Amino acid sequence: MNLAAIERNCARLRAELRPGASLCAVVKADGYGHGAVQSARAAQAGGAIWLAVATAAEAAELRFAGIAGCLLVLGALTPGELDVALGADADVIAWSEEFVAAVADRAGEAGARVHVKLDTGMGRLGTRDPAEADRVAAAVLAAPRLELAGAMTHFATADELGDGFFPGQLERFRLWALALKAEHPGLALHAANSAALLRDEAAHFDLARAGVAIYGLDPFQRDAGERGLEPALELRSWVAALKHCEVGESAGYGRRFIAQRPTTLGVLPLGYGDGVRRALANNADVLVGGQRRALVGAVSMDNVTVDLGDPRPDNAGLGAEAVLVGAQGSERITVEELAKRLGTINYEITCGLSARVPRAHHRDGEPVADERARAAAGGRTGS
C-alpha cells in the first residue's frame, strides 16, 4: 500500500473543492482494505481535516493508535456502541429525538457533537421528513451538553453520470440545510461522497466526505488516472510451484481447466480465503514475467493456477513475482478491471481482501516506520 499515493490523492481532491470547503477522508472498513490507521495518517498528511468511520469500534481503533483530529461515526449505534463512540471523542449522527435523548444521557461532562441526517433519497439512515430533521436539530440545541455540529445527507446515484436523481437530492438537501444554517451559522453542511465531489461543486458545501477516491479508485468505475488519482494498492504473490500439463490433464476442483495443448501451470499460494473471488476462475489475468497470464481453473481457498505457456519463459519460474493488482513492466491490472469482470464495484474488491493478506505499507517504495520494524523482526509482508 503506497501511503504517499493516498496523501497525493487527498491533496488532489482538496484542490477540487470550492473555496472554504474541507476534506473528510472516509477510512471505514479498515480503510477500504488498505489499513485504517495508516490510511488515516496519510490522509491527514494530505490535508484531510476530518476522518469518518462507520462504527464505534473503528473510531476507538484510530484513537488508540494516537490519531487526533475531528472524527465522525457515520453508522447507527447501540447504547453500548454509543458509549464507545463518545469515549473516542467522535461526533455522532442523529435522525430521531429518541437518539438525541440517549446521547444527552450518556454524554457526561465532556458533552457530545451531533450531526443531523436528512434522507433525501438514499433510503437508508436518516429521516425523510425535513420537519422531523428540524425537530431533531432543536432537540440537540435544547440539550445542555450537546452541540449541533453538522447537517448531512448521502447521495444514491452520484456515481451515475448524467442521471436525473442526483440533482433532485442535492436540491432537497440544499433547501433544508441552508435554511438551518441561516439560523446556526457555525453548522458544517456535508453531502458529497467521492463521486459528488468530482461531479458537482454545488455538492461540496462545507465538507466533502471522500472515500474510494482517496485510495486512488475511480468512483465512476473507469480509469482512476483520468481523474488524476493514483491507486495505492497492489496485490502481489509468487510462483510457489510449477506443474507441466499434457493435453487432457487438468487442474483444480471440478477440472475447470483441461489442457488443450502442452503447457506449464504456475501455482500461486492465495485464493478466496484471501479475497480472490471464485468468479475469477478462467476469468482474469495475472502478471508474471512482465506479461499477462490467464488465471485458469477454479479459484480454491488457498491457491490459484496461471497458464505460463510452453515453453515457459525463464522469467516466469519458481519464485517469480505474480501481480494480481498493480503494474509489472509495461502491463497493468487495475481493481476496476477486476470489478468489471465480476460485475461489481472496485471497492468491493479491496474491502474483500481478508485479514490473512499481509499489508506492507510504504511511501513510494520506502518502508514506513512500522514496516521497518516488522522487517527487522523477520515478519512477513504482502499487498
Which residue matches cell numbers 440545510? Answer: 177
Total residue count of the chain as it appears in this document: 383
CB 369 within 8 A of CB 38: no
- Dist CA 81 CA 88 (whole Å): 11
By DSSP bridging, strand 321-328 and strand 331-333 are antiparallel
How is the chain split into domains, by residue range? Answer: 3-227, 235-376
> What does the pLDDT profile of the chain (383 residues) look like in tens digits?
999 999 999 999 999 999 999 999 999 999 999 999 999 999 999 999 999 999 999 999 999 999 999 999 999 999 999 999 999 999 999 999 999 999 999 998 889 999 999 999 999 999 999 999 999 999 999 999 999 999 999 999 999 999 999 999 999 999 999 999 999 999 999 999 999 999 999 999 999 999 999 999 999 999 999 999 999 999 999 999 999 999 999 999 999 999 999 999 999 999 999 999 999 999 999 999 999 999 999 999 999 999 999 999 999 999 999 999 999 999 999 999 999 999 999 999 999 999 999 999 999 999 987 654 444 444 434 56
Which residues are the active-site residues?
A: 28, 253
- Dist CA 100 CA 136 (whole Å): 7
- Dist CA 64 CA 36 (whole Å): 12
Q: How far is CA 101 from CA 195, 238, 321, in A?
A: 34, 55, 56
- Dist CA 301 CA 113 (whole Å): 45
Which residue(s) pair with 177 in the sheet?
none
Q: Do domains 3-227 and 235-376 have the same CATH topology?
A: no
Q: Which CATH architecture has domain 235-376?
A: Beta Barrel (2.40)
* DSSP, residue by residue, 109-134: TT-EEEEEEB-SSS-SSSBS-HHHHH
pTM of the model: 0.93
- DSSP helix/strand/coil, 91: strand
CATH of segment(s) 3-227: 3.20.20.10
Which residue matches cell numbers 440533482? Answer: 167
DSSP designation for 254: G
* DSSP, residue by residue, 270-320: --TTTT--GGGTTSEEEEETTEEEEEES---SS-EEEEEESSPPGGGSTT-
CB 10 within 8 A of CB 231: no
* Closest C-alpha among 296, 178, 94 to residue 86: 94
